[in-house]
Amino acid sequence: MNINKIKVMSGENKRYVVQMEMYVYADNDYMAKKRANDLKLSIENRRHSDHVKVTEIGEQPFASTYYRKLDDPTFTPKDTSNEPLPF
């Protein structure tokens, strides 16, 4: 058994909530959600992280005050989505 996992579970460490914000560059909403999900998974797969969640995604052009919040920040792969494909 990994000694680091024992240390985390033994109560010696305190649990903290960390909210992160970052810029993701993409051609469209779908790709922005996909890249945010990929980042979420890469963080989730590291040690000492659990329950990583993307809470908001919005479009904001560089050097602009315009901001468009996406209604649903969750990523749904196109092959499992119920929406028709764009072609």
CA 72 from chain center: how many Å? 12
**How far is it, in rounded angstroms, from Cα 29 to Cα 74?**
11
Q: How confident is the model at residue 81 (pLDDT cuts 50, 70, 90)?
A: low
- Quick one: average pLDDT of 31-53? 86
CA-CA-CA-CA dihedral for 28, 26, 82, 20, to nearest 10: -120
Q: How confident is the model at residue 20 (pLDDT cuts 50, 70, 90)?
A: confident
pTM of the model: 0.61
**How far is it, in rounded angstroms, from Cα 37 to Cα 34?**
5
H or E element in which residue 37 lies: helix 29-44
